[in-house]
Structure 1
């Protein structure tokens, strides 16, 4: 443990002083080392950022009481669910890598903390480094209150065992979900069971939790999962030239995800609840990092739980995998409310990611830094927008105030200044920059050939692209090479040169989401989409939690209008144990439904209990089978079910993001009406 702490400080010091170790071989035969321009850029970053401020390192290691003797956590079948050891290259030889932005490497080292921490003596414990998120334990009179049980059952169970083995075994009295992203509830079945809940263990969440835990990940789930390949660097090895961190943690665990429905919701702006002798004041903060989220204050402990609203990074206002654009101003105001409501007294601030902050002055410093960064992002961007700066310019114009740039708590790792600034304009003004040319633009595959023809064809573009690359003008190079790749998607020379430019841009990015996106695109341009590439998705618990109406909404999204042309029918769907009556109608090649209604002359009426419908939703049974064996009762023309099924597209995750990378069939066929895996909302 002492050696590891020394390595942390050694690496940080080397980044500050510019010490660089020997280059590590690239994982990709086509990969390139950092160019002279990238090396110089990284040197400038080492010279300009406040690496002398070591407080984050001091706080991140404070209270460490147990480190497990394993670096991997496995599932029951032996699959590796978590492997912190795969990132140990970050701790070797105190090396500063020119293929990693120095600020990002610093963050990546901080996220290597691994073990059990006692952050308030005898009362509050955290296990960090077991998943993308942290799991926190508050000792009550007779048991544990658990905050955010990680993303997977296996990692959560390992964390609870480490706690009990080290501190003493106690029963779990309650589980708190701070918000509606999967890395904050997905491991719940590793710490409690349905039987525990039936016997009185409470599960508490903010109002709207169940709706948003499901809905945020349904309608565009397939494309969001594909885009996750880039944001989370799914295909990138853990390597100085590949995946090094995910800003709020190392990576997403690959274990079993679950969901147990809350037994109690916090609905007031501020609500006090006492469980097992622990007083907690919950602060609802909707529309911040998640649509349903809440902070918690422990008045008897002077401790403030900041959920994912205040962590070791400025977060996403727009998430690159895809999500609704968030409200930076509202986020800032909720932090300000917490600052004045709790921050005046708190001596400890801890959260679902990153590391705690100790002492009231330090807590207020960090809260103000993040409050002001989100507020300035909103206000500064709108100031520019009101002067005519457009969504296609603002990321090159808006600058974070210098005083904030020099504070680590205000650096943008999970988000980036570039994509967050564009998101603010998109929230208020939408995607259009008010130039009619861009209002109904040609698709890239149609516009690119025009540019290529006007530039004289592939040969001069490649020559100019290489010259721009050789001069370190990587963004300029991508501007023309991207056109060539769209016009000639099978031109491997063009794809390789574009990949080279993407790679150098990726090396220079502070945000791992942006870094991974450039490096992920480079990987696919060079190698195509590998057969069998997958990501972790939400489990059947989340699908079962879908409202029937939401499931029908997604079936409607799957309807191919061309296949449904001329088709008309009406179905009455009854779920008697839920007292649900729904009319489903196909007309004008569009499927719609309305709840709490029954059509008098339906072509088909179906009645089945919700538990049986859930077997259809999860793919365990076919609807036609349930109709045939009488599990589902029917009246009318059952051929309508087959008609509807014949219109449905099955979405595949293997579509191209970059042209010429070779679409693959990566999604197995499933039952006609089965709900595909929902999007992975880990990390927000």
Structure 2
């Protein structure tokens, strides 16, 4: 039985990753060079795409005001939370793509490395390269209006310091969160004091549902999502040409203090006008696009359009590979079309929360059309092929963008990819089942692997055939075949090494930053085992304090071990005295349910404040200590409460992925 003070451990809300990279050491198996097949594949990309088009490089460098000579940002304890310098040693505008990197992804990395303070247009400035996202500063009549204050307070403060140094010091009078992902709000406390917000001196502007969505996205499935994020974002990969290169949207994620101040002004419809410090903003409300709640903004006095993350200079994810709910690509396309219709004729500069701006009205409209049609094409053609009877896997192999969309740099798959987005669209409509009876109740991977290897003549025979296919550069098939070897025999050193070699070459060929990271992290873990240290940063204090009890109970429900709870009946009351709210919790039929009010026959009653619970969740006090100090009281059958706590699983972050 778990001790009471452990009942909230493992709260899986990821701030992405506070981890160190996997530096190559003598103990670790080293990466391999690019094979001849990989070199040929990357050379083909170099020939296929219009690398002579340098307009993005011109746009990325336009308006530069200042650039730090060294861009390494530390927290108050001296720990590095952002280090662009680690990339500079091998990525630069004058450096050709190494043969271990897809040249298209290399181009994306070169552009993402263009950093500093830039003027976008009159009174609009951006700091780029200080985190995964951009931070934007609008010069109001008296102060700064700040859009999307990065992930960490430290990186946001460094950006504000640079702006004040170069443009003159001004107070921050408003902060806007364009949507509910942490790289668009986490650094807010590096800019403003919450006391000024409460006093009405600073506005915090977001769209309806922001707080709920910003907290809830990673709570229920947080542990699994965070573990998979290790793969997707490449945070552990070494900083070299055989490791991390680019995350697609930006280089990587900062690892400082993620914060949250709740909004004071909400956006809830298109056409809503907000005038802040003399700046008129016309809102375009775009829920259900790149995020559950999001908005674009038109600035009529500057003929400028802020696109949040609804259009960037990459194909985005319809289903992010770390795991999430599938996005609606048809709705996404429709909102971009609305941007064209409402604001296209009155826009001369477009800027957004990632990548670099674009200037010129007709050029911007053409860009919007190509982004719109990319999302609509992948939706319509995936659904067409689905209705012709093809499965998600088959569709992903068949679908191709037309050349006018495919050869457009901003549509390339640096973050999302056409292959996994088309499968996501199939999943949105049809779910996991592909209609084939053999897949209705198929064997789990480990059991199936043993049968596959037996049918294929045993492990040695598979390894011999796989080596021949590897030598021919057939890495996708080698990865498929050797996955079964490893799941049938996780102690197969040759199988794991050859599978790692195949993953590595697939990573070197990948155009998508997340695909590269996933393949290379998989190769690392096959060669060196699952990491044991690091992991997710716990939910920030602001996030925990903003959680409502209902969200906590939902999380406890998925932590309840159903088989252990079978046959048990537990009734508990929880009385939050500072919130004036009471809840009844019931464990019955192996399920935890809760409702407002007291249960008729409570076994025990827990009287506490939300603040006392927050301190337990934040590790400031143990549950036992709070009871001893009288901040939490348990009335009734304390053993029933202890029994309830003993039914809670604590999730292991470092679960296996590439091995059983």
Shared fold (TM-score, shorter chain, > 0.5): yes
For residue 619 of structure 1, report the CA deviation from its aligned partner.
Answer: 3.1
For residue 600 of structure 1, report the CA deviation from its aligned partner.
Answer: 2.5
> Which residue pairs with 2:5 in the alignment?
none
For residue 241 of structure 1, report the CA deviation from its aligned partner.
Answer: 1.0
> Which residue pairs with 1:68 in the alignment?
68
CA distance in structure 1 between the partners assigned to 2:270 and 2:346 by the alignment: 19
Q: CA offsets, 1:469-493, max 9 Å, x none?
A: 0011111111211111110011011
Pick which of 232-241 and 622-631 moved more.
622-631
Pick which of 538-547 and 445-454 moved more.
538-547
CA distance in structure 2 between the partners assigned to 1:564 and 1:624 by the alignment: 23
For residue 603 of structure 1, report the CA deviation from its aligned partner.
Answer: 1.4
> Which residue pairs with 2:428 in the alignment?
427
Where 1:223 maps in the other structure, the secondary structure is: helix
Where 2:605 maps in the other structure, the secondary structure is: strand
After superposition, the Cα gap between the structure-2 partners of 1:251 and 1:27, relative to the gap in structure 1 and judged at 3 Å, is farther
CA distance in structure 2 between the partners assigned to 1:372 and 1:64 by the alignment: 32
Is 1:257 aligned to residue 264 of structure 2? no
Q: CA offsets, 1:91-118, max 9 Å, x none?
A: 1752221111111100000000111001
> Which residue pairs with 1:183 in the alignment?
183
> Which residue pairs with 1:337 in the alignment?
338
Where 1:644 maps in the other structure, the secondary structure is: helix
- Summarize the alignment of residues 279-678 of structure 1 with structure 2, pairs less than 5 Å apart: 279-536=280-537, 538-594=539-595, 596-659=596-659
CA distance in structure 2 between the partners assigned to 1:472 and 1:181 by the alignment: 39
CA distance in structure 2 between the partners assigned to 1:93 and 1:536 by the alignment: 36
After superposition, the Cα gap between the structure-2 partners of 1:563 and 1:494, relative to the gap in structure 1 and judged at 3 Å, is same
CA distance in structure 2 between the partners assigned to 1:284 and 1:367 by the alignment: 17
CA distance in structure 1 between the partners assigned to 2:198 and 2:445 by the alignment: 56
Is 1:272 aligned to residue 273 of structure 2? yes
> Which residue pairs with 1:199 in the alignment?
199
> Could you list the runs of 5+ residues in structure 2 that have no partner in the other structure?
1-23
CA distance in structure 2 between the partners assigned to 1:99 and 1:361 by the alignment: 37
Q: CA offsets, 1:605-651, max 9 Å, x none?
A: 22322222222332333344434433234432222221111111111
Where 1:300 maps in the other structure, the secondary structure is: coil
CA distance in structure 2 between the partners assigned to 1:270 and 1:617 by the alignment: 41
Higher RCO (CA-CA < 8 Å; seq separation 6+): 2
> Which residue pairs with 2:38 in the alignment?
38
For residue 44 of structure 1, report the CA deviation from its aligned partner.
Answer: 1.0
CA distance in structure 1 between the partners assigned to 2:656 and 2:534 by the alignment: 13
Where 1:605 maps in the other structure, the secondary structure is: strand
TM norm structure 1: 0.91
Tell whether the 8 Å contact from 1:584 to 1:591 is kept in structure 2 after alignment.
Answer: yes
CA distance in structure 1 between the partners assigned to 2:387 and 2:493 by the alignment: 43
Tell whether the 8 Å contact from 1:563 to 1:646 is kept in structure 2 after alignment.
Answer: no
For residue 547 of structure 1, report the CA deviation from its aligned partner.
Answer: 1.4
Q: CA offsets, 1:242-275, max 9 Å, x none?
A: 1100011110001111001111111123311101
Aligned length: 635
Pick which of 34-43 and 318-327 moved more.
34-43
Pick which of 458-467 and 228-237 moved more.
228-237
CA distance in structure 1 between the partners assigned to 2:27 and 2:357 by the alignment: 35
> Which residue pairs with 1:218 in the alignment?
219
Where 2:344 maps in the other structure, the secondary structure is: coil
For residue 592 of structure 1, report the CA deviation from its aligned partner.
Answer: 1.3
Tell whether the 8 Å contact from 2:29 to 2:527 is kept in structure 1 after alignment.
Answer: no
> Which residue pairs with 1:671 in the alignment?
none
Q: CA offsets, 1:78-100, max 9 Å, x none?
A: 11011111111111752221111
CA distance in structure 2 between the partners assigned to 1:65 and 1:27 by the alignment: 45
Where 1:91 maps in the other structure, the secondary structure is: coil
Where 1:330 maps in the other structure, the secondary structure is: helix
Tell whether the 8 Å contact from 1:27 to 1:241 is kept in structure 2 after alignment.
Answer: no
For residue 599 of structure 1, report the CA deviation from its aligned partner.
Answer: 1.9
Where 1:571 maps in the other structure, the secondary structure is: strand
Backbone CA RMSD of aligned residues: 1.7
> Could you list the runs of 5+ residues in structure 1 that have no partner in the other structure?
1-23, 661-684
Tell whether the 8 Å contact from 1:391 to 1:431 is kept in structure 2 after alignment.
Answer: no
Q: CA offsets, 1:378-424, max 9 Å, x none?
A: 00100111111101211111111111011111111110111111000
For residue 562 of structure 1, report the CA deviation from its aligned partner.
Answer: 3.1
Where 2:378 maps in the other structure, the secondary structure is: helix
TM norm structure 2: 0.94
For residue 147 of structure 1, report the CA deviation from its aligned partner.
Answer: 0.1
After superposition, the Cα gap between the structure-2 partners of 1:111 and 1:26, relative to the gap in structure 1 and judged at 3 Å, is farther
For residue 658 of structure 1, report the CA deviation from its aligned partner.
Answer: 1.1
- Summarize the alignment of residues 53-64 of structure 1 with structure 2, pairs less than 5 Å apart: 53-64=53-64
CA distance in structure 1 between the partners assigned to 2:171 and 2:257 by the alignment: 22
Tell whether the 8 Å contact from 2:29 to 2:528 is kept in structure 1 after alignment.
Answer: no
CA distance in structure 2 between the partners assigned to 1:604 and 1:269 by the alignment: 49
For residue 26 of structure 1, report the CA deviation from its aligned partner.
Answer: 13
